[in-house]
Amino acid sequence: MSTIRVTVWNEFRHEKEKDAVKSIYPDGMHEAIAAYLRQQPGLAVRTATLDEPEHGLTEEVLAETDVLTWWGHAAHAEVQDEIVDRVQARILDGMGLIVLHSGHFSKIFKHMMGTSCALKWREVAEKERLWVVNPVHPITQGLGPYIELPHTEMYGEPFDIPTPDKVIFISWFAGGEVFRSGATWTRGKGKIFYFRPGHETFPIFHNPEILKVIENAVRWAAFAGSAAVDMSVAKVEPLEDLPTQD
Amino acid sequence: MSTIRVTVWNEFRHEKEKDAVKSIYPDGMHEAIAAYLRQQPGLAVRTATLDEPEHGLTEEVLAETDVLTWWGHAAHAEVQDEIVDRVQARILDGMGLIVLHSGHFSKIFKHMMGTSCALKWREVAEKERLWVVNPVHPITQGLGPYIELPHTEMYGEPFDIPTPDKVIFISWFAGGEVFRSGATWTRGKGKIFYFRPGHETFPIFHNPEILKVIENAVRWAAFAGSAAVDMSVAKVEPLEDLPTQD
Amino acid sequence: MSTIRVTVWNEFRHEKEKDAVKSIYPDGMHEAIAAYLRQQPGLAVRTATLDEPEHGLTEEVLAETDVLTWWGHAAHAEVQDEIVDRVQARILDGMGLIVLHSGHFSKIFKHMMGTSCALKWREVAEKERLWVVNPVHPITQGLGPYIELPHTEMYGEPFDIPTPDKVIFISWFAGGEVFRSGATWTRGKGKIFYFRPGHETFPIFHNPEILKVIENAVRWAAFAGSAAVDMSVAKVEPLEDLPTQD
Amino acid sequence: MSTIRVTVWNEFRHEKEKDAVKSIYPDGMHEAIAAYLRQQPGLAVRTATLDEPEHGLTEEVLAETDVLTWWGHAAHAEVQDEIVDRVQARILDGMGLIVLHSGHFSKIFKHMMGTSCALKWREVAEKERLWVVNPVHPITQGLGPYIELPHTEMYGEPFDIPTPDKVIFISWFAGGEVFRSGATWTRGKGKIFYFRPGHETFPIFHNPEILKVIENAVRWAAFAGSAAVDMSVAKVEPLEDLPTQD
């Protein structure tokens, strides 16, 4: 199996602006995720952030990216439409996309889903338990029946997403809600995974089980289909003899 | 059951510009479809076209539309983005959408799908046979095992669409291709049906079986879910007592 | 719309054997459900129970049944295999099936699903909240964002079912679990809905929202597809001229 | 990645009874498939046939099988129900199942699907073209846009199967029909792939593209999920403190 090239994208603003976040992620959430992934076999990892030129997502970077992970929150609107279109085109051409937490409201996720991606929320540091509801899926490899997070922001249903190909995790929250916290879709030749945990004020991306899920998702999302099937529009000739028109 | 309010939308250019099309649809394809639907019980039908102000799709018209049908081809790019966003918002809020034939490349369909909606095509007036593969679906009511069209434009796979909720029809073409010619999705509170036939140079919208499918789809796509469930984003209070934070 | 003929099936043992159950359902759970349905327009309702001849499910009864609801628990094994096969054949031919609560372990549900239909459970009368996650589905008509049940038996994930066509409800339980409490499938020409609530020691089938869901499900599950499409095996002749074999 | 243990199962009657079949598969179709798979890296292959004791599918063999492929036709009824139940239990516990051609009417496939698995058919050696409709799926790896088979038995829609998780191939037949020729499902912890080609009187299992699909399917179907998540029924204790009952 060849190396999977991962680009870990982060808005990277909260970590610079809020001490509470900086203390948990001094180098940014992207570095917490990337540091973990770099230790895993078969992965080549780089990072990119909003304030880099072209948000760090040049044509060259995307061409060399097999799987892109995305965390954004306060600055979704600052992501340029041109870059969003570029990312979408690359996904349709086979790049995997892993959307984390508040990335549900990113332009790229909403573009891929076609829905509002709205949800209910509150931030009172309540307990969350992510139940594995699809233990045959490779994203669950190495997990037990659930992941427990002592303190999280809450996301509640209804979550305005298209019918997922597969629901992998359903969360229970102490305050009384549930949420489809892990779900997959395919779009074009690209695989997409949404994963709910990751609020910036909690050390979610230091949790070994959360990191394992991200690693599993990266391996799952890397393209492994038919490179020779062209999905672009084209005029084609008949493959069979056709009767002469009257 | 209350009346279903249908708006039949048409680009309405070919019928004005090409004699071959005008001779088949002197008042436009929208009038052929609307005339049929007006004869069916429980439907209130209006039309709208590209060259009307706001493409005939004002806030008021959309608010009074339960199901919108869409035919476009040469002028997809002329549909204003603002109107596309308005239609998308209305779909997510519960309006049904029925996309016909070359509407696969319309802005609204691509926005709802998140994919390129590309396909293979040719126009040699070959035979098409649409097989019913999901006879439990209400869109198939009244049909036999297949619909045969003696002369059609061909659309071939791969069709770059998200996994449909349901595939209803699969077409066979004399030239050697197949196509998922009828498929459904839901987005937000809206139901979507794509239906392949409808090339402007053939009398497809005079075919009783094709018209029956459109009628069935209109009835299926009208909202019948929970009006009281709010899918917008909102901050909510806990429903359960939570332990005091340390 | 023609009348929907409903047969409400019940094991009807607990109500005869346990005073706690009898006090809630003196005539059996089937009568509580049937009494409600009989008051709704367009439904013709009968009941059938395990200890009747052929479990009340003769060929004649099934032929006259559009939708069958099923509640069983302690005596799944007493349902004759011949009757199960008969019910399965009728479902594939277009009868709807609504499986309630402990019916998840009935022979008919396991036959239709092909899985173990196993789940986690406990009975400590805890609170359940069924969240509507699919408000576009007609089964949710008339509901608010959730149904709250003060005291229920708990069912927890993983629930060993095939990927549902649609998940309608996800439950939150006070003890910490979640569950896909409402889900749909199609099999042959039949529509199937599983609905979790309904433990015999709680007055679940006196709850107006629960009864509304059952009514909605009955209307949804009644066959409305293509009667003329034959799904049986058959040898067929070519529809096109074929080249003579060499 | 560890070795995938494959068991290639075959009814192995036609090859002994009909010269036309024997000439194509002198050692049986299972040996044609197994010989190919044995040459591929990371696979350990054995075979089993109907007339062996326990059909070659003892508890020991199944325990050591990661993926089972199945070809049967004339003797479906001779497969013992006890063995079918054993295979089903092993699938639900994580064994992959690949069902080939006339295996659509096998007991095991019908048990896993819950439907009749009926279809239309004829045998006039017509041309088939299997179109790849899901090029992101690993089963399509290495394929072009379609596989062409000059002479095949025809299978036509409607195919009475549950909504597949994914449709991979759709076939075009010269005689005018279409068919969902490759489709996937999951059941319990097991992955299932149905693949249409494989009529015994044609050298289908000598076709490199067909063999490649089977190899891809074997790799895809091997369990890669969570071994630690228990899907059996169990009574569980609350994970949260519950209020004392009144």
Is the pLDDT score of B164 beyond 70? yes
Which chain A residues are closer than 8 Å to B175 by Cβ? 238-240, 242
Distance (Å, whole) CA D229 – CA D139:
26
Q: Could you tell me the two tokens for D144?
A: 């072009």
| Alpha-carbon radius of gyration of chain D | 19
Per-residue pLDDT of chain C (246 residues; tens, 9 = 90+): 589 999 999 999 999 999 999 999 999 999 999 999 999 999 999 999 999 999 999 999 999 999 999 999 999 999 999 999 999 999 999 999 999 999 999 999 999 999 999 999 999 999 999 999 999 999 999 999 999 999 999 999 999 999 999 999 999 999 999 999 999 999 999 999 999 999 999 999 999 999 999 999 999 999 999 999 999 999 999 999 998 765
Question: Which range marks the domain in which residue B187 is found?
Answer: 4-114+180-221
Distances C102 to C17, C118, C181, D219 between C-alpha atoms, Å: 17, 10, 12, 37
Handedness of CA D143, D144, D145, D150 (dihedral sign): negative
* Residues counted in chain D: 246
Nearest to D188 among C92, C116, C122 (CB): C116
Strands B146-156 and B120-132: antiparallel
Q: Do B172 and D178 touch (CB under 8 A)?
A: yes
pLDDT band at A245 (very low <50, low <70, confident <90, very high): low
Distance (Å, whole) CA B63 – CA D167:
37
Instruction: Please check whether residue C122 lies inside any domain of the structure.
Output: no
Instruction: Please check whether residue D210 lies inside any domain of the structure.
Output: yes
Q: Which residue has the tokens 């992207």?
A: A30
Close Cβ partners of D208 (under 8 Å, ≥ 6 residues apart): none
Strands B43-49 and B96-100: unpaired
Q: Does C35 touch chain B (CB under 8 A)?
A: no
Taking only the tens place, the pLDDT of each residue in B99-124 is 999 999 999 999 999 999 999 999 99
Q: CA of B190: which chain C residue's CA is closest?
A: C136
Instruction: Please check whether residue A188 lies inside any domain of the structure.
Output: yes
Q: CA of C163: which chain A residue's CA is closest?
A: A166
Distance (Å, whole) CA D7 – CA B26:
64
3-state secondary structure chain D: CCCEEEEEEECCCHHHHCHHHHHHCCCCHHHHHHHHHHCCCCEEEEEEECCCHHHHCCHHHHHCCCEEEEECCCCHHHCCHHHHHHHHHHHHCCCEEEEEHHHHHCHHHHHHHCCCCCCEEEEEEEEEEEEECCCCCHHHCCCCCEEEEEEEEEEECCCCCCCCCEEEEEEEECCCCEEEEEEEEEECCEEEEEECCCCCCCCHHHCHHHHHHHHHHHHHHCCCCCCCCCCCCEECCCCCCCCCCC
Nearest to B157 among D166, D170, D177 (CB): D170
Question: How confident is the model over A9-29, as a mean pLDDT?
Answer: 96
**C210 Cα distance to chain centroid:** 13
Q: Could you tell me the two tokens for A52?
A: 């880099």
pLDDT at position B244: 72
Q: What's the structural domain count of chain A? A: 1
Q: What is the b/e burial string over C176-200, where b = at least 16 CB atoms within 10 angstroms of the residue's CB?
A: bbbbbbbbbbbbbbbbbbbbbbbbb
Distance (Å, whole) CA C84 – CA C158:
26
Close Cβ partners of A77 (under 8 Å, ≥ 6 residues apart): none
Pick from C186, C191, C226 the residue to mutate for testing the B interface (most B CBs within 10 Å): C226
pLDDT band at A222 (very low <50, low <70, confident <90, very high): very high
Q: Does B134 touch chain C (CB under 8 A)?
A: yes
pLDDT at position B243: 84
Q: Could you tell me the two tokens for D38?
A: 């044995």
Q: CA of B129: which chain D residue's CA is closest?
A: D176
Question: How confident is the model over D64-70, as a mean pLDDT?
Answer: 98
Handedness of CA D199, D204, D210, D211 (dihedral sign): positive
The torsion defined by the Cα of D208, D209, D210 and D211, in degrees rounded to 10, comes to: 50
Which chain B residues are closer than 8 Å to D180 by Cβ? 133, 170
Is residue B161 within 8 A of residue A188, CB to CB? The reply is: no
pLDDT at position A243: 84
Distance (Å, whole) CA B2 – CA A198:
46
Handedness of CA D142, D148, D151, D155 (dihedral sign): positive
Q: Does D226 touch chain C (CB under 8 A)?
A: no
Q: Does D128 touch chain B (CB under 8 A)?
A: no
Distances C64 to C44, C46, C94, C95, C225 between C-alpha atoms, Å: 10, 10, 12, 9, 17
Instruction: Please check whether residue C86 lies inside any domain of the structure.
Output: yes
Half-sphere exposure of residue C35: CA atoms within 13 angstroms, side-chain side: 12
Question: How confident is the model over B205-227, as a mean pLDDT?
Answer: 98
Question: How confident is the model over D4-20, as a mean pLDDT?
Answer: 97
The reply to whether ipTM tops 0.90 is: yes
Q: Do D236 and C112 touch (CB under 8 A)?
A: no
Instruction: Please check whether residue B241 lies inside any domain of the structure.
Output: no
Q: Which residue has the tokens 């997403």?
A: A161
pLDDT at position B224: 97
Mean pLDDT of chain B: 97
Taking only the tens place, the pLDDT of each residue in D169-226 is 999 999 999 999 999 999 999 999 999 999 999 999 999 999 999 999 999 999 999 9
Is residue D22 within 8 A of residue D16, CB to CB? The reply is: yes
Q: CA of B128: which chain D residue's CA is closest?
A: D176
Which chain D residues are closer than 8 Å to B157 by Cβ? 131-133, 170
pLDDT at position D244: 72
Q: Which residue has the tokens 């009529």?
A: D199
Calculate helix-pair angle for D29-38, D208-221, nearest 10 degrees: 70
Distance (Å, whole) CA D104 – CA D113:
10
Is residue C33 within 8 A of residue C218, CB to CB? The reply is: no
Handedness of CA A172, A173, A177, A180 (dihedral sign): negative
Q: Do D237 and C122 touch (CB under 8 A)?
A: yes
Which chain D residues are closer than 8 Å to B167 by Cβ? 167
Q: Does C244 touch chain D (CB under 8 A)?
A: no
3-state secondary structure of A37: helix
pLDDT at position B130: 98
Close Cβ partners of D122 (under 8 Å, ≥ 6 residues apart): C235, C236, C237, C238, D153, D154, D175
Distance (Å, whole) CA A159 – CA A166:
15
Instruction: Please check whether residue D244 lies inside any domain of the structure.
Output: no
Close Cβ partners of A28 (under 8 Å, ≥ 6 residues apart): A10, A12, A15, A47, A49
Distance (Å, whole) CA A29 – CA A12:
7
Q: What's A191's domain CATH number?
A: 3.40.50.880
pLDDT band at A7 (very low <50, low <70, confident <90, very high): very high
pLDDT at position A244: 72
Is the pLDDT score of D60 beyond 60? yes
Q: Do C119 and D233 touch (CB under 8 A)?
A: yes
Instruction: Please check whether residue B151 lies inside any domain of the structure.
Output: no
Close Cβ partners of C118 (under 8 Å, ≥ 6 residues apart): C105, C159, C160, D231, D232, D233
Distance (Å, whole) CA C85 – CA C65:
16
Taking only the tens place, the pLDDT of each residue in D149-159 is 999 999 999 99
Chains near D (3 or more Cβ pairs under 8 Å): A, B, C
Chains near A (3 or more Cβ pairs under 8 Å): B, C, D
Distance (Å, whole) CA A3 – CA A44:
7
pLDDT at position C245: 60
Q: Does C144 touch chain B (CB under 8 A)?
A: yes
Q: Which among C90, C124, C99, C92 is positioned nearest to C201, based on CA atoms?
A: C124
pTM of the model: 0.98
Mean pLDDT of chain A: 97
DSSP C203: T
Is residue D130 within 8 A of residue D88, CB to CB? The reply is: no
Instruction: Please check whether residue D12 lies inside any domain of the structure.
Output: yes
Is the pLDDT score of A204 beyond 60? yes
pLDDT at position B145: 98
Chains near C (3 or more Cβ pairs under 8 Å): A, B, D
Question: How confident is the model over D3-12, as a mean pLDDT?
Answer: 98
Q: Could you tell me the two tokens for C96?
A: 């709807």
Is the pLDDT score of D246 beyond 60? no
Cβ neighbourhood burial of A243 (10 Å; 0-12, 13-18, 19+)? exposed
Q: Could you tell me the two tokens for A208?
A: 């070994």
Nearest to D188 among C115, C120, C233 (CB): C115
